[in-house]
Structure 1
């Protein structure tokens, strides 16, 4: 009895740490405790045999030695078994963590098609089964929910011994890249199950299609830019001759003399369209300098007042006295301001109020151009900055696209807020750094 009581301090020593220990420490503590228990029990039995009055010493010693050797062998076997269980458990735990951390969807089934494991990505990829305990159920639970024939799946083919590598499968709402393999017994080579690894490549496919489209558009854009550049040269000559003829016929009484201003105006308009197109299609070199947005607005005010007076529009300013300087391209920023204000004038037709405001915070400087025009619906705003999209009868659809390019070249952002019948506000966000 006393030897067994000797185990109590040992047990108390590990009791407090046992609660906070991980599985490996718990199993190791149990194995050591069991090993010591066997040793102590063996010693106790040997001492009991030796304590018998009539037991000779030459008989007690072999019994003690036999029990001691048996205890060592049994204790070692128990410790080995426990350590093997611990190693297998830790391996399974590591594999489970690895599986859950992978972005690909993984599902395994046994030879009967019963699901044995799934990872987190599988539940994310198939949300209809996220709340269903699928492990232990047939894989048809998944295929039936998504309207897929189980016998047409790669997993079913893998159970028949067929391997699938990088198969692209299109579904109505997404596209999957699937790999499926049979799981064979290391001893016999028989198929004991199958594993399917898939990944949603819908976004990758869409991006690839967009890139292909952009490549084609880039080629067309380069060709169109070359054509536009070649067209501009003869148009410059035509304008020069028209202007020369206009000056020669200034004092004459020809009835066609009034046509010259119209021709010159239309040639200037075509030249402006070509300039916008070339500005949109090429990567221009930006010449930046320290510039205050308030100064830029004040420089442009004479032009804005003139156009506003012709259309009966009032201009309101909100320019704070202190505004941080930014590194900007003066020419491009003036073009940006004039394009935005011109759009605002056209949206208000005749009458209304144009508001120009600047402000700053710790991260950026803001330029807001607001009008009281007709506003725009949401579906129009989604396409607002697309080249050649316009709702105007004589518009080219390049003005806002050019504005967007200018802001992008200054590492800024161009936002728009509009409500039908309540006007529109364009906000240019230019970062301080």
Structure 2
């Protein structure tokens, strides 16, 4: 058929079938030519089948279109030129949809390749695996760290470094863990972080491994520089007046000796007062040295199961009388049922007592002083403890120095309290942070 209209093609085929039926009836019933009737019957059957095939072609094309989309085959094109305008528009829509999916797939593939190249070239080791440990994604940086060109399951890492294997396998999403690894006959420190995501019903973990040796070296150098500045400042504050006063006393005594004069009572009193000042400043230096010793003598934690809620209640009973005496409102809250944690109760109590004392000093001059301590669970085996006050806050210019040993703005303060607190929390593999707003208050947060 050369006609381009589907309806015309169908009508012509139906007319041809009708002609075959008429001829068949004529030769079969009137002319009684049975052989010719057989030929006509065969042609009639073929014409009916061809009509069905022609009509069903649009369904076959639609099935092919859907299967092509399902199999991401965007090379198939459809032509409706021989079927009229309606089919031409239909097949043109097929082609447009196919092209749209082709463009989307190309853009998706481009983004996928871009991400793969990005992950491949960054210096942080990245590995992703499913619940059974099957590795889905790994970049060159991770392979170089573990010196393994091919890893199909994270259990392979157990032979490289059991510490690394357990760190990657056990780390909780959203947490960071520092690990020391003996790799290539060198001790290296890495920060391990993890996140989880789901695709359908399957869960996957994405873990990053970053070498922080250089960063730690820089931070350590900065910490030493700050400590030396503080130590120098404190020592010079004591040594300078001692040196000056010693020179003055030496000058007074030398003048008397050179003139062979008898040292009178007034001179003796001056010398005695000067020696008393020297004695006081010397004791101050001794106390400063003892404080430094205490800073470096924090005992190793004796870990045991501790109920933070019970510890919180004990501290509340301990501080309530003094807080009531100072007219300070005190609130104890527990956001949810916190789990027991492994900690040293004595050291942890020391940290909380120090923070509560600091809070009391902060709200001493407030009109409506308020201190609160709250706990809430963070995961299955960790808790968050917050000590909050509505004091004046910590000025920005000294905020970064509050954890530096011997740094203090309090008259007579040693400057080691917060430094010791942070060290104790670090020994518990936790973190101690501070959030403050001038004129609003300060919150110290312990995550352990």
Please indicate the TM-score interval, normalised by the length of the shorter structure. Answer: 0.3 to 0.5
What is the TM-score normalised by the length of structure 1? 0.40
